[in-house]
Amino acid sequence: MMRVPERTGRSAPVAFEDVSKRFGAVSAVANLTLAVENGELLVLLGPSGCGKTTSLRMLAGLERITSGQIRIGDRVVNELPPRSRDIAMVFQSYALYAHLSVFENLAYPLRVRKMKKAEIERRVKEVAAVVQIGELLGRKPREISGGQRQRVALGRAIIRRPSVFLMDEPLSNLDAKLRLHTRGELKRFQRDLATTTIYVTHDQAEAMTLADRVAIMNHGMLQQVGPPKEVYRSPANMFVAGFLGSPPMNFLRLELGREEGGLSLTGLGVRMALDNTWNGRLGAAAARAVVLGFRPEDVVVAARPVPGAIEGEVYLVEDLGNDRYVDVRVGGQLVVTRLAAGLEPSIGDRLWLTPDANRAHLFDPLTEDHLA
Binder among 12, 36, 96, 310 for another protein (CB under 8 A): 96
DSSP H helices in the chain: 52-60, 102-112, 117-130, 146-158, 176-193, 204-210, 228-233, 238-243, 276-282
3-state secondary structure of 14: strand
DSSP string covering 142-192: GGS-HHHHHHHHHHHHHTT--SEEEEESTTTTS-HHHHHHHHHHHHHHHHH
Q: C-alpha dihedral over 97, 102, 107, 112, to 10 degrees?
A: -20
| H or E, element range at 109 | helix 102-112
Binder among 108, 239, 352, 363 for another protein (CB under 8 A): 108
Residue 60 or 362: which CB sits closer to another protein?
Answer: 60
239 touches another protein by CB under 8 A: no
129 touches another protein by CB under 8 A: no
Q: Which of residues 64-83 bind another protein (CB under 8 A)?
A: 64, 75, 79-83
117 touches another protein by CB under 8 A: no
Binding residues with another protein: total (CB under 8 A): 37
25 touches another protein by CB under 8 A: no
For the chain, the first-to-last Cα distance in angstroms comes to 44
Distance (Å, rounded) from C-alpha 372 to C-alpha 181? 37
DSSP state of 355: E
Residue 202 or 370: which CB sits closer to another protein?
Answer: 202
144 touches another protein by CB under 8 A: no
From the list 95-103, 287-295, 311-319, 364-372, the region that binds another protein by CB under 8 A is 95-103
Q: What are phi and psi of 125, to 5 degrees?
A: -65, -40
Residue 118 or 366: which CB sits closer to another protein?
Answer: 118
How far is the CA of 207 from the CAs of 42, 103, 183, 232, 325, in angstroms? Answer: 9, 31, 10, 11, 23
3-state secondary structure of 71: strand
Contact between residue 264 and residue 274 where contact means Cβ atoms under 8 Å apart:
yes
Q: Which amino acid is at 145?
A: S
Contact between residue 2 and residue 161 where contact means Cβ atoms under 8 Å apart:
no
37 touches another protein by CB under 8 A: no
Residue 79 or 356: which CB sits closer to another protein?
Answer: 79
Q: Residue 183 CB, nearest distance to another protein (Å)?
A: 22
Binder among 4, 76, 112, 289 for another protein (CB under 8 A): 112
Distance (Å, rounded) from C-alpha 43 to C-alpha 201? 7
Residues 6+ apart with CB under 8 A from 322: none
Residue 152 or 290: which CB sits closer to another protein?
Answer: 152
95 touches another protein by CB under 8 A: yes
Q: What are phi and psi of 58, to 5 degrees?
A: -65, -40
199 touches another protein by CB under 8 A: no
Q: Residue 195 CB, nearest distance to another protein (Å)?
A: 13
Residue 40 or 168: which CB sits closer to another protein?
Answer: 168
Residue 28 or 236: which CB sits closer to another protein?
Answer: 28
Q: Residue 84 CB, nearest distance to another protein (Å)?
A: 5
3 touches another protein by CB under 8 A: no
52 touches another protein by CB under 8 A: no
Residue 51 or 226: which CB sits closer to another protein?
Answer: 51
- Among residues 17, 45, 363, 347, the alpha carbon closest in space to that of 203 is found at 45
Binder among 2, 8, 37, 101 for another protein (CB under 8 A): 8
Contact between residue 180 and residue 209 where contact means Cβ atoms under 8 Å apart:
no
Binder among 71, 151, 161, 370 for another protein (CB under 8 A): 161
Residues in the chain: 372
344 touches another protein by CB under 8 A: no
Binding residues for another protein (CB under 8 A): 6, 8-9, 23, 60-64, 75, 79-84, 86-89, 91-93, 95-99, 108-109, 112-113, 115, 119, 156, 160-161
